[in-house]
Amino acid sequence: MGSVLHTVAIVGLGLIGSSIARGARTYGLAERVVAVDRDEAVLERVRALGIADLVTAGFAEGVAEADLVILCVPVGAIGAVAAELAPHLKPGAILSDVGSVKGSVVAAATPYLKPENPFVPAHPVAGTEYSGPDSGFATLFQNRWCILTPPEGVDPQAVSTVTAFWEGLGAIVETMTSEHHDLVLAITSHVPHLIAYNIVGTAADLETVTQSEVIKFSAGGFRDFTRIAASDPTMWRDVFLANKDAVLEMLGRFNEDLSALTKAIRWGDGDTLFNLFTRTRAIRKGIVAMGQETAEPDFGRSRSDTKTN
């Protein structure tokens, strides 16, 4: 890690923002952590938790001294927030974010920034289904990927600073274009969330199965869909609208593959099913081998966890 930043300002203190605040302190990445949020209830919790040196609802006060400002707000709000805080950034201050869509974020924020304020978008591929300042923890980003998508021509030193910050939080940093990022995340994150929301909604709408039965007899597969479907609705609404083209492309491919599976089941084509299931097991093994998941039974949940989640 390079030199310690003097001040990091975090705008939006939900799961990710509060985890960054905790991590910046725990790992000594900044001398001063500023928390900015427009929700007074959130600000009260952040003050009570003591995870920031300055807690404010004012953008001007919050970002004035910051060397690095990280937007941890829904992607649909990035443009409006950037427009409001950009005039208050000091020369050389770096703006970044944590959104899981990058192309629309770059387009929304860039017009408001002065040339002396580089924008280095980031996406930490980490999280839980919980939200709010109480849900954060300093180790959330340990051994998780953080993808940077710096626009062409951005100051390399700014990219190095943001890279060092995320590495200091324990993340593994990779750089790619915003377009490639959005395509990759459409299939690895966005479409799986859409499927989870859809299948849980379908179960809830079944007239021949009561909601109590859906809850009572939830096997592992459905239960894990509900974990994903419990994610923040505002954030995910914005994600799908902001990454529409890539999501629609991946949904088209998914629907084609689903049609092929439907045909295999209808015609009793066991070989096709077996070959697909064998191939997909290899993907799971690869994820475990890279340390992005545990091979422990029941996804590493303790028995107490499985009773409550």
Fold annotation for 5-176: Rossmann fold (3.40.50)
Under DSSP, the state recorded for 171 is P
- d(Cα 156, Cα 293) in Å, to the nearest integer? 32
User: In the chain, at which residue ranges do the beta strands (DSSP E only) sit?
Assistant: 5-11, 30-36, 54-56, 68-71, 94-97, 122-124, 145-148, 172-175
Helix, strand or coil, per DSSP, at residue 298: helix
- d(Cα 275, Cα 268) in Å, to the nearest integer? 14
Considering the segment(s) 180-308 as one domain, its CATH architecture is: Orthogonal Bundle (1.10)
Domain locations in the chain as residue ranges: 5-176, 180-308
Query: pLDDT tens per residue, the chain (309 residues)?
Result: 457 899 999 999 999 999 999 999 999 999 999 999 999 999 999 999 999 999 999 999 999 999 999 999 999 999 999 999 999 999 999 999 999 999 999 999 999 999 999 999 999 999 877 889 999 999 999 999 999 999 999 999 999 999 999 999 999 999 999 999 999 999 988 899 999 989 888 887 876 666 677 777 776 778 888 888 888 888 889 999 999 999 999 999 999 999 999 999 999 999 999 999 998 888 888 877 777 666 665 555 544 443 333
CB 173, CB 166: distance < 8 Å: yes
β-strand pairing of 122-124 with 145-148: antiparallel
Same fold flag, 5-176 and 180-308: no
Q: What are phi and psi for residue 11, nearest 5 degrees? A: -105, 110
pTM of the model: 0.82
